[in-house]
Structure 1
Amino acid sequence: METFVAVVEAGNFTEAAQQLDISAVMVGKYVRELEERLGARLLERTTRRQRLTDAGRVFYEDAKRALEYMRIAETSVEQLRASPSGTLRISAPITFGACVIAPLAATFRQLYPLVRVELELSNRNVDLIDEGFDLAIRIGELGDADLVAKPLTMYRMVICASPGYLAQYGCPETPQDLSAHHCLSHTVWNSRSGWKLEDGDGPRLVTESVFTCNDGNGLRMAAIAGAGLLLQPEVLVAHDLASGTLVQVLKTYSPKPHPVHIVYRHDRRPLPKLTQFVAHLLEHVPKREAS
């Protein structure tokens, strides 16, 4: 197609061959193959001149537009590979995604304003290929062995309560003391038999709960208001613990932390929007040990 357009614009096979840096014989071969494929004659040639047939004139205009579209497409890909740009689709667990990934996605966009971020918060494991995600954040065991996985940090749960609540009901020292306390529980955990704490003899279930909610931040706000003891991710209550709004208790009995990974598809030439965002997360998410 490119050869045919060059022949039309150059006026003859020889000039087109020089422009394309191929032989005039090869130019003629390409034009003949094109005519055979289309089943129509495109050029009428004599020893002195050439002219387009009606079919050739129509094909020339469409071919020229098609080649221009192809050049635009190639330029777009080149721009994507030159610096981070385009849409970056991210899947992350609800709490970790809201507390950690969303703020870092915002600072990433400040660095690379040509990137458009689509962050989906969900506790389900999405299919990166079928659902079109560039990367996902996974907590715990990794299910997809064919994905690239980079360790990010550890996901910890903490038990805490407001100073006012602890002043009224006392500070629990062991899981056995929780029977005399008001425990706040997430609806999902409640359906799985309650809190799962680490005891000296192994995991211990705490089923007593006086307040349930299907949202971690809702439980956090209830705990700040003095409703009881809270078991939630450290990332959700970090600022409250630092400010003293909430106080951590039963530290040695908190559930075992789980590893957090960044996962994405194998690609020999990943786009800068992905590689730079992964680097951004690895640089700014605090590294935490398993214990």
Structure 2
Amino acid sequence: MDTLLGLRVFAAIAEHKSFSAVADRLGLSPAMTSKHVQHIEARVGARLFNRNSRNVSLTEAGAKYLQTVGPLLDGLAEAEAQLTTDTLSPRGTLKMSMPGWISNPAFAGILLAYHQLNPHVTFELDLSGRKINMVEEGFDLALRVAFNLDEGLIARKLADVTFQLVAAPSYLDRVGRPQSPDDLADAPLLAYSRVASDGRIRFGGSDGLDVRLRPVMVSGTEDILQCAAIAGMGYAMLPNWATRDDVSAGRLEVVLPRVTWPTLQIHAIYADRSYLPAKVRSFLDFLAGADGLAAAMQTRGHLNPDAEAGPQPPTR
């Protein structure tokens, strides 16, 4: 059998998680599609897919094999494209995972600008904030502020993200506005699970002051924390990029406004490959470029440009 076609069938099934869909896409019969996979499994001596009547997923061996052959197939496709076109343009589906707070008009503008330059790239976005397996789930990129880097992945810094403590004006009218960090002790916190799940905020660096708030809600999805803060449930530590519009509209208020709140870094996480598909490489370069993520965050601005020294990111 044609081993190269078999590899393409394998990679397509890994992406679409369906034998029948790939058969239709490639113009093969379902039986022939299965035979191609069996041929590759016989060559490598391992089962590549878990299958039942409803689901198809990669085995551990299949995920490792895809990590190796996927870039080779992408490279072959682009090499073939170079033979038929004068310039190589990014194309295909760019599957990305990112935090929910990045869903805003500024980031949509970045996507629009990139798409206008690269109209053959389609975006598939996951904003759930959940932990993902990039290889097994077929993600090209993940944007993360807090992360543990798995083996075979690398991180590229894109921009700084300033977090700040906010609350609803109505809530602050009821309980009073803190005048110092000590006033926050045991206050109700709507805690982002990847930054301050235990409610602790550290001021003044490694030798500074710890203030422990009382988590009343913990979530890895920032949207619900922001909504709960607007409703008056307590304090929330959120990126100023996400809260700027609500602060400007009076739905939220910055707590201790002369304090410099923690600044973390947002990274692009992607597979450590000697070759990156053009769609991934070009979007990475666009995010890191002069009109990319850092510029968009700067445009939205910092709320406290004359802030005094304050807290540091919580330590793990």
1:263 to 256, 261, 269: 269
Deviation per CA, 1:98-145, whole angstroms, max 9, x where unpaired?
A: 347565334433432211111223445544333322222232355247
2:252 to 224, 240, 246: 246
TM-score by length of 1: 0.58
Could you tell me how far apart the structure 1 residues matched to 2:194 and 2:140 are?
Answer: 30
* Percent identical: 28
Paired residue type of 1:166: L
Aligned to 1:286: 294
Please state whether the residue corresponding to 2:136 is helix, strand or coil. coil
For the structure 1 residues 248 and 187, does the alpha-carbon distance in structure 2 shift closer, same or farther, using more than 3 Å as the test? closer
CA contact (8 A) 1:217 1:236 kept: no
1:197 to 178, 183, 201: 201
Paired residue type of 1:199: F
Could you tell me how far apart the structure 2 residues matched to 1:113 and 1:102 are?
Answer: 15
Query: CA RMSD for the aligned pairs?
Result: 4.0
Please state whether the residue corresponding to 2:119 is helix, strand or coil. coil
Could you tell me how far apart the structure 2 residues matched to 1:234 and 1:121 are?
Answer: 18
- The offset of 1:255, in angstroms, is 6.0
Deviation per CA, 1:183-214, whole angstroms, max 9, x where unpaired?
A: 24238489953x221234535242435x5264
Could you tell me how far apart the structure 1 residues matched to 2:156 and 2:218 are?
Answer: 33
Paired residue type of 1:276: S
Paired residue type of 1:285: L
Please state whether the residue corresponding to 1:82 is helix, strand or coil. coil
Aligned to 2:232: 226
- The offset of 1:164, in angstroms, is 3.1
1:185 corresponds to 2:203: no
- The offset of 1:83, in angstroms, is 0.9
Structure 2 alignment gaps of length 5 or more:
1-75, 299-311
Aligned to 1:167: 173
Structure 1 alignment gaps of length 5 or more:
1-69
For the structure 1 residues 158 and 132, does the alpha-carbon distance in structure 2 shift closer, same or farther, using more than 3 Å as the test? same
Please state whether the residue corresponding to 2:137 is helix, strand or coil. coil
Paired residue type of 2:135: I
Could you tell me how far apart the structure 1 residues matched to 2:120 and 2:137 are?
Answer: 23
Could you tell me how far apart the structure 2 residues matched to 1:175 and 1:138 are?
Answer: 28
- The offset of 1:242, in angstroms, is 3.5
Could you tell me how far apart the structure 1 residues matched to 2:86 and 2:149 are?
Answer: 30
For the structure 1 residues 128 and 222, does the alpha-carbon distance in structure 2 shift closer, same or farther, using more than 3 Å as the test? closer
Q: Which entry has the higher C-alpha Rg, 1 or 2?
A: 1
Paired residue type of 2:167: A
1:153 corresponds to 2:162: no
CA contact (8 A) 1:190 1:207 kept: no
TM-score by length of 2: 0.54
